[in-house]
A and B are shown apart, each in its own frame.
Chain A
Amino acid sequence: MLLEVKNLTKIFTVGFLRRKEIVAVKDVSFNVKESEFVSLVGESGSGKTTTARMILRLLRPTSGSVVFRDRDVWSLRTLNDLRWYWRQVHGIFQDPFASFNPLYKVDRVFYQVFTLLGDNDVDKESLVNEALKEVGLRPEEVLGRYPHELSGGQRQRLMIARCYLLKPKLILADEPISMIDASTRAGILQLFSKLRDEYKTSIIFITHDLGLAYYVSDRVLIMHKGSIVEEGSPEEIMEHPQHPYTKRLREDVPLLYRKWSGF
């Protein structure tokens, strides 16, 4: 097993005098196999982003563990161990503008990750150019520019190009196309599939869009109020949903080729 998430829980405490506990993620467990495309579906506030950050080792869980290749991710301490992890497990976030430090040219996101690759004798420039070509960008149209000079689609492609540079074993993509224009979405989705096909990269695709999850994934996890309420193949989830929440979700998603009754 590539990744095992065991009883992951995150409780935020807010307030100073009157402390209140908010359970963002409650006892979440699941596994991811090599070159598997798993979707984590939930609406805003369901805890899916918090789960992603805990797996990426960016946010400390209250309890539970994340095990990657038999190593407990949260027991990794040294910078070298952490680099080993982030070399193989990388994230892509929803807002492609917020993913860039606005003060630096976009090139920085590539030259940063060479520390993860560890090899200093490589021709960095040609590796970056190669990665850019993989995601359909011409190096001369993006390199040397500031994030605000590029479109949302270009910025998100740059983020995926960073993954092409690393060729990680697992990518957590948190709503990577929800802020991208409809006409260019499919192109970006294909880049994830290509990574999976060419390098056996597993993908955890986090989305609120059931249609998208149904279309791209091997397995779908439905998350509701911090817990995973249902798990299955896309067909199972769509054709025989078990949990009342999944049933409701399926009924309320607007479809293209079927019209709701009563409208």
Chain B
Amino acid sequence: MSLLEAEHVKAYYRVREGFVKAVDDVSLHLDRGVIMGLAGESGCGKSTLVNTLMLNIRPPLYLIDGRITLDGNLLSKMDKQTLKKKVWGVLVSIVPQSALNALMPTQKIIDLIKDIVHAHTDISDSEIVSMSRRRFEELNLPVEALNMYPHELSGGMRQRAVIAISTLLNPKLLIVDEPTSALDVSTQKQVLKLLVDLRKAKIIESMIFVTHDIAVLRQIADRIAIMYAGKIVESASTDDILYNSKHPYTYGLINAVVTPEPEVRKRGLISIPGEPPNLLKPPSGCRFHPRCPYAMDICRREEPPLVEVGEGWTVACHLVASGRR
């Protein structure tokens, strides 16, 4: 049974010139115990999508349409109060890109934790302290950090502390939005290890990891969904995305990854011509068609349907729909 189910979700930004269709008719489901990577270039709507999935939206972003169910609760119909009390932090948590913005500079880590926990339950302060200590120990984080101010911690430690705090109430789903893009590789690895450990220790069930870095997803994700111009174009197991991708954009994105490996030198770096579209007026039909080397007439006219090509493997491409790929 799936943990998260999203059907035909549309979330638009209202701007002076009209609507920016950042998330346009996205359906997605996430099984329990799965780490899913959500990959795409900047401005493709991946951050907007994950925030919409947990109803963390505020104007100018609006949920236009769609049904979102998390652990049997219909989120898309809930009001803000219920979401705050029953969903955020309890069922789902999000870790933003910069941990610095999530922490109050004048507040010790432990005081922040108290505030957050009090918003949801009536546990006593001393219990919160011992709970936090236990959790930090369990995750191999230094317990002393609890009594420190954010600026006393290094960037990587800060990010790990934020992750530990976000998962203190054992949310079923953890969403992380580019958590390592500002860190150097060694610190990045520590943060990734912490995320994997969270699932091993059964603190969380599932995770959505948003990033533009496919090599990072390769290390931790079970499944990868590729997003382009407000739509999910392909979703499959990590190996299938890596080795057997069906969508020309997925294929292009994989070929644009450079890692220090002989395979990369052998295959070379292949770029996709053109640039991602402006979501204020996306191209007709398949949004990738202006950049696609295989574009056909139908691609310009009609939006490709999302087709299931294998067990848990969906692709939105006319080439696949017409059986040519």
The residues of A with any CB-CB pair to B shorter than 8 Å are 43-44, 151, 153-154, 181-190, 208-215, 234, 238, 248-250, 252-260, 262-263
**A183-B272, A260-B219 in contact; A255/B259 too (CB < 8 A)?**
yes
Q: B192 an interface residue at 8 Å Cβ cutoff?
A: yes
Please report the C-alpha to C-alpha distance between residue A23 and residue B31 in the assembled complex, in whole angstroms: 51
Which of the residues A186, A212, A249 comes within 8 Å of B271, measured between beta carbons?
A: A186
| Docked-complex contact A256 and B186, CB < 8 angstroms | no
Interface size counted on chain B using CB atoms at 8 A? 42
Please state if A182 and B253 are interface contacts (CB–CB under 8 Å): yes
B252 cross-chain contacts in A, Cβ below 8 A: 183
The docked-state distance in angstroms from the alpha carbon of A184 to that of B271 is: 6
21 A–B contacts from the bound complex (CB under 8 Å): A43-B184, A43-B185, A181-B275, A181-B276, A183-B256, A186-B256, A186-B269, A186-B271, A208-B184, A209-B258, A210-B185, A211-B258, A213-B260, A214-B258, A253-B185, A253-B215, A254-B189, A254-B216, A256-B254, A256-B264, A260-B219
State A260–B216 Cα separation when bound (angstroms). Answer: 10
On whether the beta carbons of A254 and B273 are closer than 8 Å, the reply is no
CB nearest neighbor in A for B220? A263
B257 CB-CB contact with A under 8 Å: yes
Task: Flag if B186 contacts A249 (CB, 8 Å).
Answer: yes
Q: A248 to chain B: which residues have CB within 8 Å?
A: 186
In the complex with contacts A44-B184, A181-B276, A260-B219, A210-B260 CB distance below 8 A = yes
CA separation between A256 and B216, bound complex, in Å? 8
Alpha-carbon separation in the docked complex, A4 to B271 (Å): 34
Interface residues of chain B, those whose CB is within 8 Å of chain A, are 41-42, 184-186, 188-189, 192-193, 196, 212-216, 218-220, 242, 249, 252-261, 263-265, 269-276, 291
Q: Do B186 and A252 touch (CB < 8 A)? A: yes
Closest CB in chain B relative to A38 CB, distance in Å: 16
CB pair A187–B273 under 8 Å, yes or no, is yes
Top 4 A-B pairs, shortest CB-CB distance: A186-B271, A214-B260, A186-B269, A43-B184
> Which among A153, A189, A238, A262 is the interface contact of B260 at CB below 8 angstroms?
A238
Complex alpha-carbon distance, A211 and B291, angstroms: 26
Is A256 within 8 A of B257, CB to CB? yes
B271 adjacent to A187 (CB under 8 Å): yes
Please give, as numbers and ranges, the residues of chain A lying within 8 Å of B263 by CB-CB distance: 256-257
In the complex, the answer to whether A254 meets B41 with C-beta atoms within 8 Å is no
**Contact, CB under 8 Å: A256 / B215:** yes
